[in-house]
Amino acid sequence: MAANSMREQIIVYVKGKVEELASIKTVSRVRQTYSQLQQFAVTQLPLVAVVGRLPHPVEKVSSRTKVKIDLIISELLIDLYVYFQDNVTPDETLSNLLDDLWVKLYSDEAMGNLVISTLLSVDEQPEYWEPFVAFRMMVKVKYKHTTGGI
């Protein structure tokens, strides 16, 4: 099914960029639970779950008449949940994965002209669920759309 909303096009773009990374073995659109992670083979990790939030309108632009809104600028947060196993050097692996994602996602900040701006941030505290390590990166974009869709 083709992505018809700007929101979905942006999420699909981010997912595609993550899939280009050799360091990432599996990309999903579903956040994983501990029991779901246990179903993955070690060769399928690291896994990144790309999960979009709902857009938040931040600015409305009207046409010449004050009554009709023509253009909306919205913010969209996309969470990247990264899961991997490393019992020897987990902090080093985390740094390398984070660096790979950072470089890849900032390589095209306009995301193929889908967005106005991109800002990446990371939760400061990774989670440890023996034998898994997890962290979250947030991709915050601003984009334009009309009242005809999100």
Q: Which residues contact 8 (CB under 8 A, 6 or more apart)?
A: 52
In this predicted structure, the answer to whether residue 63 has a pLDDT above a threshold of 80 is no
- Residue-wise pLDDT tens digits, 34-62: 999 999 999 999 999 999 999 999 988 76
> Would you say residue 66 has pLDDT above 90?
no
Q: Domain extents for the chain?
A: 7-57+75-140
2 pLDDT more than 90: no
Side-chain-facing half-sphere of 129: CA atoms under 13 Å:
14
List, in sequence order, the alpha helices (H) in 1-118: 6-19, 34-37, 90-106
Judged against a pLDDT cut of 80, whether residue 3 lies above it is answered with no
d(CA 122, CA 79): 9
- Phi-psi region at 148: left, alpha or beta (left = phi > 0; alpha = psi -120 to 50): alpha
Q: In the CATH scheme, what is the code of domain 7-57+75-140? A: 3.30.70.1700
| pLDDT on residue 67 | 65
Q: Quick check: pTM over 0.85?
A: yes
Phi, psi of 20 (to 5 degrees): -70, -15
What distance in Å separates the CA atoms of residue 108 and residue 19, rounded to the nearest whole number?
A: 15
Residue 148: per-residue pLDDT:
86
Express each pLDDT in 16-38 by its tens digit.
999 999 999 999 999 999 999 99
Residue 70: the pLDDT is 80
> Confidence class of residue 109 from pLDDT cuts 50, 70 and 90?
very high
CA distance 19 to 28: 10
Instruction: Kindly state the percentage of the chain with pLDDT values over 70.
Output: 93
Q: Other CB atoms closer than 10 Å to residue 119's CB: what's the count?
A: 13
pLDDT, position 73 = 95
